[in-house]
Amino acid sequence: MTTPSVEDALRRTAVFRRLSPADRTRVAAVARLRVHPRGMMIFTEGDPSDAFLAIVEGRVKVFKSTPGGKELILEIFGPGDPLGAVALYEGAPFPASALALDDTTCLRIEQPDFFRLLEAHPPLVRGLLSGLTIRLAELTRRLAELTGARVEARFARLFLKLAEQIGRPDPGRGGVFAPMPLSRQELADLTGTTIETAIRIMSRWQKEHVLLTEKDGFVLIDRAGLEATAAS
């Protein structure tokens, strides 16, 4: 992994992509790159927010602990996604935690600089609002999904979404390969269940040739079956 320049990084993140080169230079003046090693917390639930972040390289798990002490994964973000825009209002505390799943490079703009940028470049506001509203819509969707749906249906939807977002054809078995290694525990945290239930479902699907677990991701074989399960 070669560390890109700040301007390269700006070109890669959705919020800043449409800036003119001159504006990009000005943004670059206040942006910093920071590398978080795999397994490190990037920010923690309850901390005061002090900067706007965007992922340049690597994957980041955003999660929140439930009142029962379990851990619910809200989202797994990748390159180009903004991070912590959620809490950018006057140092409000982060509502969730973020942890680097890989060695991760982040673009970082301190809060005062970020507000100055917003006031100087109104078009940035639209981009930011866009990101926030999309995230809000996604959260409401997941909220509706978590209630009243059986765990198995949530699993099916999770993998169908994965396939749609990052899937590629799998030549060997005529399925779809989703290159996203996740442990059973992480699957459980994504769907709001326990590790045992996650193992049971994955184990059964493996036997029934619906879905295979591989070292670096999952192979969806029986996509129609998953869709039927998701709808139930």
**Does the footprint of its own copies cover residue 161 (CB under 8 A)?**
no
Nearer to DNA by Cβ, of 52 and 155: the residue is 155
| CB distance 88 to 52 below 8 Å | yes
d(CA 155, CA 158) in angstroms, rounded, equals 5
Which stretch in 16-24, 88-96, 143-151, 223-231 sits in contact with DNA by CB under 7 A?
143-151
Q: Confirm or reject binding of residue 118 to its own copies (CB under 8 A).
A: yes
Q: Which does 165 bind (CB under 5 to 8 A by kind): its own copies, DNA, none?
A: none
3 near DNA (CB under 7 A): no
Which residues in the 35-94 window bind its own copies by CB under 8 A?
64-68, 70, 72, 74, 86-90, 92
- Here's the x/- map for DNA, 54-83, by CB under 7 A: it reads as --------------x---------------
Token readout for 106 is: 């982040």
214 Cβ contact list (under 8 Å, min separation 6): 177
- Answer for which of 11, 35, 197, 223 binds DNA (CB under 7 A) is 197
The answer to whether residue 231 forms part of the interface with its own copies (CB under 8 A) is yes
Helix (H) or strand (E) segment spanning residue 114: helix 111-120
CB 64 within 8 A of CB 72: yes
First-to-last CA distance in the chain?
43
